[in-house]
Chains A and B, each alone.
Chain A
Amino acid sequence: MPMYKVKPVSPADIKIDLPTCMYKLPNIHAQGMNCGEHALQNGEVDPALKALEERQDEVLRRLYELKATVDGLAKTVTTPDADLDASTLSRGPAESVFRATADLDSLLGKDLGALRDIVINANPAHPPLSLLVLHALLCQRYQVLSSVHVHSSVSAVPPPLLSCLGPRHIDSYARQRFQLGFTLIWKDVSKLQMKFNTQSMYPIEGEANVARFLFRLLSAEPQDPVLATQMDCWIDTAVFQLAEGGSKERAVTLRSLNSALGRSPWLLGQEFSLADIVCACCVLRAGQTTSAPANVQRWLQSCQNLGHFDCVYPLLQ
């Protein structure tokens, strides 16, 4: 007999989210169900999961190994390895600083028949003394066509600045006879700027950086990495602490200069280098050289004796 059929109040297949924090009992109504779920709670491991865990362990292990290797490397870099004795590092081949002439083509790019002109824009209120010294050195090694211009953004420039590159070369009317051009433009710029090959090079800013570029043209960079680093270090000290720092920082730098110069005639040892040029120029520009420590004064005197600094002294007045 057909019974009263009541419409189902709720649909038969509602998805119920069973809570996972409770202990699970096997379903007593259904039979042959997979007992895997609750079985895991007893500590037995599903083989697929096991494999995954093993893979994870493997990866983690490899990561730890890599980390250890990198740490080890870092230690060897930051601190001298116990096995490596720095004192036995041989100095690079004893090249006397400015004797080799560089291959300009390899340094500056192929010569397309045009004069390779280095253009430096400097503010007449802050003449770049170290660049003038480097110019004098360049003139000794190469045939350099030097010229000084005044840009229209500056109304007047004191005469010593106009003749700071020395007298005009006799052959200056024939530009092709020169290997290198050195054009100094007195301009209203906030930071010293050097332009060389505008198509392929960004302008270089800052006196120290331009000085490094010009020094490389003399191929007198120390080959030894330790010395090269020390040189860079001294240059940065000179620029940031001597030139731009307060009087305290200047005093500290002068003291460290003094102690370094007590050990050797020049900052890097036996050879005159860019570090000496830049530091000496910064010290001279800061003024009060008579009150500087003894070693520093002796060193400044040696610089002057070399003759490269002759162009600088007229500008210090």
Chain B
Amino acid sequence: MYKDERYNNLKASGMLCLCVAGEEEQQAQSKKALKKQQKEAEKAAKKAEKQAKLAAEQQEADEDDFAKDRYGICPMVQSQQKLDRALVRVQDLTPEKAEQQIWVRARIHTSRAKGKQCFLVLRHQQFTVQALLAVGDRASKQMVKFAANLTKESIIDVEAVVKKVEQKIESCSQQDVELHVERIFVISQSEARLPLQLEDAVRPEGEGDEEGRATVNQDTRLDNRVIDLRTTTSQAIFRLQSGVCQLFRDTLINKGFVEIQTPKIISAASEGGANVFTVSYFKTSAYLAQSPQLYKQMCICADFDKVFCVGPVFRAEDSNTHRHLTEFVGLDIEMAFNYHYHEVIDSITDTMVQIFKGLRDRFQTEIQMVNKQYPSEPFKFLEPTLRLEYKEAVAMLKAAGVEMGDEEDLSTPNEKLLGRLVKDKYDTDFYVLDKYPLAVRPFYTMPDPNNPKYSNSYDMFMRGEEILSGAQRVHDAQLLTERAMHHGIDLEKIKAYIDSFRYGAPPHAGGGIGLERVTMLYLGLHNVRQTSMFPRDPKRLTP
């Protein structure tokens, strides 16, 4: 038909002469073409019929849809207008707001149609509320159908009346109220097929196996991190992590510390050349900082006395373990002391205890929420913190049947066993191990004054895993050079570092913790990727 129309038009407009040349070809193909045309004509006729029918039905439907302007898909919010509308948060929907008509913006958690009614569960962060849409004088059949067909995770604006319920709605966080929907509009629609279901992502491991329901494995979660982070467990974990960071800052600021920012692109590897990322730096290359160690110390030599810094740390360690990441957030402390490095240990342990107390007292809701999916023992600690010496630890391990040398470093299984022994005797998940052997510590560690085989260094453990490594630093340029040479380090590369101690340096000590590891161990989780929003490890670079 289309072809014929054009032909007719051409004819009419007098441009037929141009088509004369083609006409013979057309005649040759005319039989085939005719048949084709006939078939197409039939098809088109059928289509037209269908469309006419649908249009007729639609018209009918439209005629009956009195609620047509109370629902729909909004055009994309491009800031077309500034509505002076107050949106109430789901967590504020309480019986006090009963009978009020309010607007709520939330995600569709679930939607279920039952005849003339549609039950929606709306979710905002950890809070859910039930909403009801029933066919009546305010809502039409089409409106209820529209609501039932909305895809999960879509963001909607709902105008509703808050109603009190007699029977508590157990499955929602807001158990005493429900919403009776008047208007419902879609702000952002979600695709129908979700890569993972949120109920599955929150299900505890054991329960999934028992009842044959799915749980989501870690790789799927990490690949679709944006959706995984919406679950109540993830929200709780990262709010708690934010609390850790905030308590760290608050406690140290109250102790008179100054927050500093150190450079992450540096010229020399601070901890040793093996585990460092190289970046191209114009015509040469540079490294990504493995720790803010060197710069913290330079700040002390610059008379800042007590400093701390929060920033990324890059370790190119090819370890695929449950507790290693290639990039993590380091919370580092450095402090000048008067006569004994224990002053610094006391300060650091007190900071940790204040963090634990703050979490225990202010984040119980979050801890309980995480425990629902990942049950664990509550975290126990002593105040003041327990401090054991390395020799005691070795004696305890030997008494428990472990064979090790007096100057040997603790292997990971030994650390875990020691953690259990300490928990048995003192009932604490957090303790300090002091006076490590000198041979296993970095070159800038101050040796013990009474016994050259040991050093003024310490490690702190949570639930049997190491979270902090620290020591009194060598603040004498001469001794530092000797120690560096003893460890076979190229003096040229650390010249600037050694120079900073040549013009009067106070005795100082410090240490650093990993934010993700501390959160993981406090909550009793088993993989550091659960506490890192977008984790980086040797096998993962996105998202």
- Residues of chain A whose beta carbon lies under 8 Å from any beta carbon of chain B: 112-115, 117, 119, 121, 147, 149-153, 173, 175-176, 183, 185, 187, 195, 197-199
Contact = CB atoms under 8 A, between A and B. Distances in A.
Nearest to B353: A152
B348 to A, nearest CB: 15
17 contacts: A112-B399, A113-B392, A114-B391, A114-B393, A147-B384, A149-B384, A149-B386, A152-B379, A153-B380, A175-B387, A175-B392, A183-B426, A185-B382, A185-B427, A187-B427, A195-B426, A197-B399
Interface in B494-519: none
Contacts of A151: 380-382, 427-428
A114 B396 contact: yes
B421 A149 contact: no
Contact of A149 (B382, B391, B395, B424): B382
Given A119-B426, A198-B425, 17 more contacts: A112-B398, A112-B399, A113-B391, A113-B392, A114-B391, A114-B395, A115-B392, A121-B427, A149-B386, A150-B383, A151-B382, A151-B428, A152-B379, A152-B383, A176-B389, A195-B425, A197-B399
A175 B387 CA distance: 9
A176 B391 contact: yes
Contacts of A199: 399-400
B416 interface: no
Contact of A198 (B356, B388, B424): B424
A278 B421 CA distance: 32
Interface of B: 340, 342, 356-357, 360, 379-384, 386-389, 391-396, 398-400, 421, 424-428
A262 to B, nearest CB: 46
A141 B424 CA distance: 29
B398 A152 contact: no
Contact of A152 (B356, B388, B389, B400): B356
Among all A-B residue pairs, the 3 with the closest Cβ atoms: A114-B395, A114-B392, A112-B395
Contacts of B380: 151-153
Contact of B394 (A113, A176, A183): A113
Contacts of B428: 151
B244 to A, nearest CB: 16
B67 to A, nearest CB: 56
Given A149-B384, A152-B379, A183-B426, A198 B389 contact: no
Contacts of A185: 382, 426-427
A175 B428 CA distance: 19
A198 B393 CA distance: 14
A173 B342 contact: yes
A288 B340 CA distance: 48
A199 B388 CA distance: 18
Contacts of B386: 149
Given A113-B391, A176-B391, A198-B421, A152 B360 contact: yes
Contacts of B340: 173
B381 A152 contact: yes
A197 B387 CA distance: 18
A61 B400 CA distance: 55
A82 B427 CA distance: 56
Contacts of A114: 389, 391-396
Nearest to A114: B395
A112 B360 CA distance: 37
A264 to B, nearest CB: 41
A228 B55 CA distance: 107
Contacts of A113: 391-392, 394-395
A113 B404 CA distance: 14
Nearest to B356: A152
Contacts of A121: 427
B425 A119 contact: yes
Nearest to A150: B383
B507 to A, nearest CB: 15
Contacts of A187: 427
Nearest to B343: A173
A175 B389 CA distance: 7
A250 to B, nearest CB: 34
A175 B342 CA distance: 12
Contacts of B395: 112-114
Contacts of A176: 389, 391
Contacts of B399: 112, 197, 199
Nearest to B395: A114
Contacts of A150: 382-383
Contacts of A117: 425
Contacts of B400: 199
A166 to B, nearest CB: 16
A152 B392 contact: no
A152 to B, nearest CB: 5
A185 B382 CA distance: 8
A113 B387 CA distance: 16
A170 to B, nearest CB: 11
Nearest to A157: B383
Nearest to B392: A114
A115 B395 CA distance: 9
A117 to B, nearest CB: 8
Most chain A C-beta atoms within 10 Å of own C-beta, residue among B381, B384, B425 = B425
Contacts of A119: 425-426
A274 to B, nearest CB: 26
Contacts of B342: 173
